[in-house]
Amino acid sequence: MQALSSTNFIFQGQTAFYKGKVRDVYSIDNKWLVMVVTDRVSAFDVVLPRPIPYKGAVLNQIAAHFMQATADLVPNWIVNTPDVQVSIGIPCQPLKVEMVIRGYLSGHAWREYKQGKRMLCGVKLPDGLNESDVLPEPIITPTTKAAHGHDQDISKEEIIKQGIVDAAIYEQAETYTKQLFRRGSEMAAQRGLILVDTKYEFGVHQGKVYLIDEIHTPDSSRYFYAEGYAERQKSKQPQKQLSKEFLRQWLIENNFQGLAGQTVPEMSDEIVQMVSDRYIELFENITGKSFVKPADENIEQRIYTNIVKALEKLF
3-class DSSP state of 208:
strand
The pLDDT score that the predictor gives to residue 245 is 79
216: exposed, middle or buried (Cβ count in 10 Å: 0-12, 13-18, 19+) = buried
pLDDT reading at 10 higher than 90: yes
pTM exceeds 0.85, yes or no: yes
pLDDT digits (tens, 9 = 90+) for 96-110: 999 999 999 999 999
The pLDDT score that the predictor gives to residue 225 is 95
pLDDT digits (tens, 9 = 90+) for 204-222: 999 999 999 899 998 899 9
Closest CA to 196 of 101, 104, 99: 104
E-only strand ranges, the chain: 14-19, 23-28, 32-37, 42-43, 46-47, 78-83, 86-89, 93-94, 97-104, 119-120, 123-124, 134-140, 143-144, 193-205, 208-212, 221-225, 241-243
Question: According to DSSP H, which parts of 141-244 are helical?
Answer: 156-161, 167-190, 229-234
Q: How far apart are CA 303 and CA 305, in angstroms?
A: 5
32: exposed, middle or buried (Cβ count in 10 Å: 0-12, 13-18, 19+) = buried
Split at pLDDT 50, 70, 90, the class of 159 is very high
Split at pLDDT 50, 70, 90, the class of 146 is low
pLDDT reading at 1 higher than 90: no
Average pLDDT over residues 42-71: 94
Q: Are strands 32-37 and 23-28 parallel, antiparallel or unpaired?
A: antiparallel
The pLDDT score that the predictor gives to residue 148 is 59
pLDDT digits (tens, 9 = 90+) for 256-269: 998 999 999 999 99
Structural domains present in the chain: 14-91+246-314 (3.30.200.20), 94-245 (3.30.470.20)
Contact 67/202 with Cβ under 8 angstroms? no
Packing angle, helices 269-287 and 245-253, rounded to 10: 150
The pLDDT score that the predictor gives to residue 248 is 86
Number of residues written out for the chain: 315
Contact 299/60 with Cβ under 8 angstroms? no
Taking the chain, what is the end-to-end CA distance rounded to the nearest angstrom?
A: 35
pLDDT digits (tens, 9 = 90+) for 60-91: 999 999 999 999 999 999 999 999 999 999 99
pLDDT digits (tens, 9 = 90+) for 169-210: 999 999 999 999 999 999 999 999 999 999 999 999 999 999
